[in-house]
Structure 1
Amino acid sequence: MAGQFDGRGVIVTGAGSGIGRAAALAFAAQGARVLAADLDAKGADGVVREIEGAGGVAAAVVGDLGEQSVVDEVVRTAVERFGGVDVLVNNAGIMDRMSAVADVTDAEWERVLRVNLTAPFLLTRAVLPHMLAAGRGTIVNTASEAGLRGSAAGAAYTASKHGLVGLTKSLAVMYRRQGIRANAIAPGGTATGIVVDADRTAHGPAALGPHFVNLGRVARPEEQAAAIMFLASDAASDINGVILPVDDGWSAV
């Protein structure tokens, strides 16, 4: 299991499925010790078993990453098991109902922002002391095509991903002199288990419909994971504050 991440401690959120699972397996295949965090116990435990079955080192923490106590457990476990955190991949996320602003409920807004933006903030804040003490660290966030435009999702999801883009850039500027890099990928359509529970007759989905004609092909989770791996690697040592579209050219249209 030796490779470019040999011996490094990596936290991957949303590791139970989709892009997170692909990233966790890819890091482990390159020698990383992986902490798989997910709300789904079966998915997180399954990834750990797969990594350990291949001779790697992994651990799972199950819980809602919007809760400070779960975030504390994730970071504490990674530090205790791996000796530190070299890479944080904030990948966990949920979709909204494609709702237009006038139709967004308080519950939809608060849940989407909590998972997609507050949880990455909480995790980043929790790992920073360890990275600062080590004098190095890499953070890779999973943003979205919706973080680059206003026509790829509903109001809550769009706001959350624009916020994640801003958080990424702020981190890059504020901590570059301390040896910490922060970048993000902006996936287009990707074959994951995320389900959009939308009323197609509502104003939001109806208004967004025409804008999806330039979606491009649907990517495999492994393609997104490859971009995450690159941004986290030493090969990207001078790349900081970048939002990398992985979308078959959708962002270029």
Structure 2
Amino acid sequence: MTDAVGSTISNPLRVLVTGGTGTLGEAVIQAFAKAGHRTFFQFCRNDQNATRLTDTLGATGFKIDFSADFTLPMSDFDVLVNCAGINISREQAHGVDPLIWDKMMRVNVTAPFLLSQAVLPGMLKRGWGRIINVGSIYSLRGAINRAPYVASKHALSGLTKVMALEYANTGVTCNEICPSAIDSDMIHRIAENNARARGMSVDDILDEYRTMNPVGRMATAGEVASAVLYLAGSEAGFINGASIPVDGGQIV
């Protein structure tokens, strides 16, 4: 199998998705698996979901904690989807615990960098590869009480652009998907914490997230996964270094 410039592409693709047991990660795994590709995934805690993904989709899971030193059991992948991310601080900048800052940077930025380093040699040898980073609308704008998260997403966006330029003539592309709030387990956990802090109901907080978007709802994980799947295809070979909002027009 070859693409438009004649580089060799494995068929099916070998795909690594991080954060695979999260709502979005699972949707991405499902999209690739249903398209017939060999899917592997990283997870940190949810053994039950990991087992289910293996049993139902034939995906192979690696239990790795990105907040600590780690090694990747294998590195020969055609597609890397850096989907894992954490958002565990709601303090103003002066009140952010430096340990929380470090943990968020390790998971949200350092892990994608190290994983990219691991998979790039094989991609470059084959002359084809896709690195797809899952950022956020906060890769493109600021927000109060989210200094570590916004800073980490801006850093991931910068890393995306640097790698896109460095490998632009190799057949390897690097892009970033920037979704707004996704109807996911993570957003529900954030809503629960926000509700406690503000003395509101979780439903009211979730309604705020919905009404912030001009579409009047949150994104579905499947909608974001479809964008990831497209960027992994040969037809997206001329998209490189892009930060693509999947946000219903929220930051237009």
- SS of residue matched to 1:178: coil
Render the CA deviation track for 1:100-149: whole Å, top value 9, x for unaligned. 21110112111111111111111111111111111110000000011110
TM-score by length of 1: 0.83
RMSD across aligned positions (CA): 2.0
Selected match of 2:87 from 95, 100, 122: 95
Render the CA deviation track for 1:159-180: whole Å, top value 9, x for unaligned. 0000000000001000111111
- In the alignment, what sits opposite 2:202? none
- In the alignment, what sits opposite 1:26? 31
Looking at structure 1, the residues matched to 233 and 49 of structure 2 have their Cα atoms a distance apart, in angstroms, of 26
1:66: how far off?
Answer: 3.8
Aligned pairs (5 A) from 1:74-223:
76=74, 84-151=76-143, 154-194=146-186, 195-196=189-190, 197-198=193-194, 200=197, 214-216=212-214, 217-223=217-223
Q: Which runs of 4+ in 1 moved over 6 A?
A: none
Identity %: 35
**Conserved in 1, the CA contact under 8 Å of 2:92 and 2:144?**
no
Looking at structure 2, the residues matched to 152 and 112 of structure 1 have their Cα atoms a distance apart, in angstroms, of 17
Q: Which amino acid aligns with 1:62?
A: K
* Range with bigger deviation, 106-115 or 240-249: 106-115
Q: 1:116 to 1:23 in 2, by over 3 A?
A: same
**Structure (1 or 2) with the greater helix fraction:** 1
- SS of residue matched to 1:215: coil
Q: Which amino acid aligns with 1:179?
A: G
**Conserved in 2, the CA contact under 8 Å of 1:96 and 1:153?**
no
- Kindly indicate whether residue 48 of structure 2 is the aligned counterpart of residue 48 of structure 1: no
Q: Which runs of 5+ in 2 are unaligned?
A: 1-8, 199-207
Render the CA deviation track for 1:217-245: whole Å, top value 9, x for unaligned. 20111111001111111121100000010
Q: Which amino acid aligns with 2:225?
A: A
**Conserved in 2, the CA contact under 8 Å of 1:146 and 1:153?**
no
Looking at structure 2, the residues matched to 111 and 95 of structure 1 have their Cα atoms a distance apart, in angstroms, of 10
